[in-house]
Amino acid sequence: MRYQLRQFFVFGVLLCLGGTAISQEQPSLRDRADELYRRYEYANAAKLYTKLVDTRKPRLEDLERLADSYWQMNDYESAENWYARVVGHDESPAGNRLAYGEVLKANGKYAEAKAQLAAFAEETGGDSAIALQIAGCDSALVWMANPTVHKLRNEGINTSLSEFSAFPINGKVYYAGEPDGAMQGMDTYGWTGNSFLRVYTADRAGNNGLSNPVIATDALNNGAYHVGPVAADATGNTLFVTRTYVGKDGERTRDGRRKYRTNKLELFIYTKDGDGDWSSESFVHNNVQEYSVGHAALSADGSTLYYASDMPGGQGGTDIWYSERQADGSWGEPVNAGATINSVGDELFPNMGEGNTLYYSSDGFAGMGGLDVFETTGSKAQWTVPQNLRYPVNSSGDDFAYLVTFENEEGIAGYLSSNRKGGHGNDDIYSFSFEKPRIVILLRGTTSDKQTGDRIEGTVTLFDGKREIVAKKSSGVAGAFEFVLDRNQTYTVLGQKQGYHADSAKVSTMGITNSDTLEVALLLEPIFQVGQTFELENIYYDFDKHNIRPDAAEILDELVRTMRDNPTLKIELSSHTDSRGSNAYNEALSQRRAQSAVDYLVSRGIARDRMVAKGYGENRLVNRCADGVPCSREEHQANRRTEVTVLSY
């Protein structure tokens, strides 16, 4: 969440509606769902909308709100499932393709996102913003197939709230963060219900690791609303702090029954005296009645102050501007840093690096997600063409506040802020390093048709142990792929192709100390033949139970993706038992298990009329282990299976 991009503070509450109730009629399921949705209680609303859409002809608005609820909860996998249903609805307008494309981008599915964005552009005529998104998809496909060697580490100071913009000052790091729980005597930010941002400090280790976070001195946190981020001069005795204006003359707007007041950002300069006390003054070019100023960065020689502002005369929304230090120590008039680095979008969070390098974030150039990090060299209004720092510095989320703390011929290190998937909270602080690997571990693999053994071209995704995307590429017409792995890591590699059920494998580099090459073969099961049956391996149920265990849910999620990506596929999902127990009991148990599996797929966005649940009990044994035949545990296990049969495609 880009708190410092624009600030909206909710001062109003739900207004009373006129009139009196004329009946005590209980609200319907849809009424309750809609009310929860309007109150931003998306998790609770989603549970009710899931029930409403479990019908042969669900209402489009219910599907749209269900998909949007998961989008708002940052559950992008579920949002993708439901948006696939939304765009398949007969009455779905073109705008839903745009939303679907954005969800696909959030999941790193740039080829699929491009297809939806292109369809949206064809239906509506498109514009430059859509063309830019499509260009970003093309670039992202290349960058994810060839990631840089940046290694990112989510720092331990992060919480379920927001932390961002780390800046080292005299052995510590200063950053902006949301206090956990309302601070005594301080209001909360109505949009999130959380406390306003405050400046924090943390101890900084030699490897840039952060620990022991505490709220900074009251002298730095004396603003009523958001305070932070912070930048400093070389001595650490002068700080540039972004704050939200606390006056009451901000713009007032209304959204439905809620009132808002927009408060601008302003820059404050704090100076430490000989006794260690801080004094502050407002930056001379603040103008809270007309525009915001914030996100300061000082040049290495201290002569130029860069900052972000939406003041008139820029290239677009928020631009990078600068002021030069005058002979008397004051700051000169703001000058726009130019059209080379500024766009029609927003440019934010500038930081200066070695060799007159400027790092900043923008959503106005081709990129992977919302804000992407770019670098350029120069000064004032003369800059080289900005270069995207690619994947994994950039992601499908917002990536910003990139700061280099160490640089030499062997590599660099620093900090990055991001709200990418897999973090602890809304925005998190990551430390990063960039160095040439001392050993090289390769993963080489193939994608093949499981029935014929022929090599096939597929999409191969490499996930880390937290199922975050490490890299993604096509296996090409030769059905072969290669990834570079890190030491002491666990991975999952997933192969996918339309018309096939996906295959995945686990890979580990734990304990590998020398350069090595690992190999894996992914066998994709074709699903386009009516009557074909394949087994869902490793789906287990607790004894005498039919509930879906977490390990079984992971396997069923692969089937969800297969069904989602092949929207004409209809299946029978069957459950089988071994021969122990009575025939009637086994049939009933297997039917409950099959139905539970179908219900799970429905809850994940697959229409119920595309599936048939069937329990066969012990009627279709795959080996000799019938009643009365002594068999091993493994032989009985072979009969306890879940299978999928293609009914139509």
The domain spanning residue 334 has which CATH number?
2.115.10.20
Range from 187-191, 287-291, 427-431 carrying the lowest mean pLDDT: 187-191
Same domain, 377 and 452: no
* Phi, psi (rounded to 5 degrees) for 231: -130, 165
Give the relative orientation of helices 29-38 and 60-72 as an angle to the nearest 10 degrees.
40
Final residue of a domain: which of 414, 435, 456?
435
* 414 against 26, higher pLDDT: 414
Q: Is residue 273 part of a domain?
A: yes
In-domain check, residue 80: no
Q: What is the CATH number of the domain that holds 471?
A: 2.60.40.1120
Q: Is residue 34 part of a domain?
A: no
Phi-psi region of 276 (alpha: psi -120 to 50; beta: other; left: phi over 0): left
- Asked whether residue 247 falls in the same domain as residue 355, the answer is yes
Average pLDDT value for residue range 328-344: 96
pLDDT-wise least confident of 135-149, 241-255, 405-419, 597-611: 241-255
pLDDT value of position 17: 30
In a domain, 15, yes or no: no
Shared domain for 265 and 355, answered yes or no, is: yes
Residue 643: pLDDT above 60?
yes
Residues 195-221 pLDDT 10s: 688 999 999 998 999 999 999 888 888
Q: Are 348 and 295 in contact (CB under 8 A)?
A: yes
Question: Does 172 lie in the same domain as 197?
Answer: yes
Which residue is associated with the tokens 């607790």? 542
Are 423 and 458 in the same domain?
no
- CB count, 10 Å around CB of 270? 18
Same domain, 341 and 465: no
Q: What is the pLDDT of residue 618?
A: 86
Q: What is the CATH number of the domain that holds 626?
A: 3.30.1330.60
Task: Tell which of 382, 409, 435 closes a domain.
Answer: 435
- Range(s) of the domain holding residue 605: 533-648
pLDDT-above-90 percentage for the chain: 62
Least confident of 77-81, 241-245, 258-262, 589-593: 258-262
Model confidence pLDDT, tens digit, residues 64-99: 999 999 988 878 889 999 999 999 999 999 999 999
pLDDT for 194 equals 58
Same domain, 345 and 275: yes
Task: Note whether 509 and 414 are same-domain residues.
Answer: no
At 5, is the pLDDT very low, low, confident or very high (cuts 50, 70, 90)?
very low
Tally of domains within the chain: 3
pTM of the model: 0.77
Same domain, 159 and 240: yes
163 and 277 fall within a common domain:
yes
Question: What Å distances lie between residue 157 and 193, 394, 414, 416, CA to CA?
Answer: 21, 21, 16, 14
Same domain, 595 and 559: yes
Would 298 be classed as within a structural domain?
Answer: yes
Largest alpha-carbon pair distance within the chain?
100
pLDDT for the residue 16: 31
Among 177-186, 284-293, 335-344, top mean pLDDT goes to: 335-344
Structure tokens at 210: 């952060």
Which of 526, 555, 571 is a domain's end point? 526
